[in-house]
Amino acid sequence: TAAITIRGLEKTYPNGMRALRGLDLDVAQGDFFALLGPNGAGKSTTIGILSSLVSKSAGKVSIFGHDLDTDLMAAKRCIGVVPQEFNFSQFEKTQDILINQAGYYGIPAAEARERSEHFLRRLSLWDKRDVASRMLSGGMKRRLMIARALIHEPKLLILDEPTAGVDIEIRRSMWQFLEEINAQGVTIILTTHYLEEAEQLCRNIAIIDGGQIIHHTGMRELLKEL
């Protein structure tokens, strides 16, 4: 089965904005995939629908064979989402955020503690485990969101502009971490403005504009065309 299959996806927002116009997309298991495109192209809307944060107007979406219309809970268990905006509770401590997230997925407390320690160490946040999230730097918050998205060991990691506004050193270490996760078998799809980011990380790429995929190719092939 494919990681993601999208057919004829449509989204019209309540204000009449038609953000997606019959979008088709296939992402294979194990892929590291970039959705590239200008502002307003429909990247966030597509990611929002995949993460079931945004409702679709029409079309079919299936995640590891689970149709979003008929098998939503199973689809959700396969997915970890890193949204663009920080959305954790400001006063909660770093490790507690991860332990509570594990709780939503029914992961037992001892296991939750172990996994949270593992991710905090791997993302260089262990020293900050007892610090309230509002005290973290932007790059640390970003890494904490990645840890939170991975705590239930999803097969698919979805990131919306993961390194926007992050300085270059932190960006490189995040790239390295994502490459390791992908090498361990996690399928990754991200949106980005930076061709350099897609070039560095991704094997396949789709360019989206006006709510449709206008180009779908391997990274190597794309670089040859430029």
Residues at the contact surface with ligand ADP, assessed by CB under 6 A: 13, 15, 17, 19, 37, 39-45
CB of 210 to ligand ADP, least distance (A): 9
Pick 19 or 112: Cβ nearer ligand ADP: 19
The encoded tokens of residue 167 equal: 């300085």
CB of 191 to ligand ADP, least distance (A): 6
Pick 42 or 154: Cβ nearer ligand ADP: 42
Pick 42 or 162: Cβ nearer ligand ADP: 42
Block residue for tokens 């078998």: 185
CB of 156 to ligand ADP, least distance (A): 19
Pick 77 or 193: Cβ nearer ligand ADP: 193
CA dist 168 and 41 (Å) reads 25
CB of 147 to ligand ADP, least distance (A): 22
Angle (CA) 173 178 181, round 5°: 130
Cα dihedral 203, 209, 212, 215 in deg (nearest 10):
-40
Q: Distances in Å between the alpha carbon of 42 and those of 12, 87, 199?
A: 11, 21, 21
In three-state secondary structure terms, 204 is strand
Pick 99 or 213: Cβ nearer ligand ADP: 213
Block residue for tokens 């239930």: 152
CB of 84 to ligand ADP, least distance (A): 6
CA dist 66 and 73 (Å) reads 9
